[in-house]
C-alpha cells in the first residue's frame, strides 16, 4: 500500500497521527522504493522473491460496534505461532514475522534462497476495552481480534430537517 493510501486510511479510520507515525511513513516511503533492487537486477531468477513485509506494515481494519471493537489484520504468509498480540485499555499491538526458504537441485546445480521479514504495528482504539476479555482468531492469513468495550456506545438517531 502506498503512502497516499495509508494517509487516506488513517483519515477514514479516525486515528490520530503522532510524530512517530509520520516518521514511520517517511521511512516506508524511502525504503519501499527498493534501494537494494539494482543489485537484484543482475539475477533475474531472484526477481520473483520479495522479502515479506518489505517496507510495509500489514493492512488493518478497525470496526467499532455498540458493544465491541473488531480489529482485522491481513498477515499473509505468517504462521499463527509467529504472531504476538498485546492489548491495553486504549491500544492494541500486533507483532509478527515470516520466513520462506526455497531450494532447487538439478545435477550439479544447487540454489537456495531464504527470505525473512517482520513487522510491528500499534493502533489506538476508539474506546476503552476490557483487555482481559479479548479474543483472537486466525484463519487464511486474516487475524481477527474481538475486544469488548468497557461501556456500550449510546447511539442517538438524528433526523434531517
Q: Select, from the ranges 8-12, 14-18, 69-73, 106-110, the one with the highest average predicted confidence (pLDDT).
A: 69-73
Percent of the chain with pLDDT over 70: 71
Mean pLDDT, range 30-58, rounded to an integer: 53
Residue 4 to residue 104: CA distance in whole angstroms: 39
144 pLDDT tier (thresholds 50, 70, 90): very high
Give the per-residue pLDDT at 8.
Answer: 52
Between 22 and 145, where is the model more confident?
145
Instruction: Label residue 12 by pLDDT band (50, 70, 90).
Output: low
Across residues 47-72, what is the average pLDDT?
76
Question: 155 — phi, psi (to 5°)?
Answer: -95, 145
Residue with more model confidence, 57 or 127:
127
Answer yes or no: pTM beyond 0.75: no
Domain ranges of the chain: 3-148
Burial annotation 102-118 (CB, 10 A radius, 16+ → b, else e): eeeeeeeeeeeeebebe
- Average per-residue pLDDT for the chain: 78
Q: Cα 134 from chain centroid?
A: 19
108 vs 24, more confident = 108
Q: Once rounded to an integer, what is the mean pLDDT over residues 92-104? A: 88
CATH code: domain 3-148 is: 2.60.40.790
Q: Which pLDDT band holds residue 98 (cuts at 50, 70, 90)?
A: confident
Amino acid at each position: 500500500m502506498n503512502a497516499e493510501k495509508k494517509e487516506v486510511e488513517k483519515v477514514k479510520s479516525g486515528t490520530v497521527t503522532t510524530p512517530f507515525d509520520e516518521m514511520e511513513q517517511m521511512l516506508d516511503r524511502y525504503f519501499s522504493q527498493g534501494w537494494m533492487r539494482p543489485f537484484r537486477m543482475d539475477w533475474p531468477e531472484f526477481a520473483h522473491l520479495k522479502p515479506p513485509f518489505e517496507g510495509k506494515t500489514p493492512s488493518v481494519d478497525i470496526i467499532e460496534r455498540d458493544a465491541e471493537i473488531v480489529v482485522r489484520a491481513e498477515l499473509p504468509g505468517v504462521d499463527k505461532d509467529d504472531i504476538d498480540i498485546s492489548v491495553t485499555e486504549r491500544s492494541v499491538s500486533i507483532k509478527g514475522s515470516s520466513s520462506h526458504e526455497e531450494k532447487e537441485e538439478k545435477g550439479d546445480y544447487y540454489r537456495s534462497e531464504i527470505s525473512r521479514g517482520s513487522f510491528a504495528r500499534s493502533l489506538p482504539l476508539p474506546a476503552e476495552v476490557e483487555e482481559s476479555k479479548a479474543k483472537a482468531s486466525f484463519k487464511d492469513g486474516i487475524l481477527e481480534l474481538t475486544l469488548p468495550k468497557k461501556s456500550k456506545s449510546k447511539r442517538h438517531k438524528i433526523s434531517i430537517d
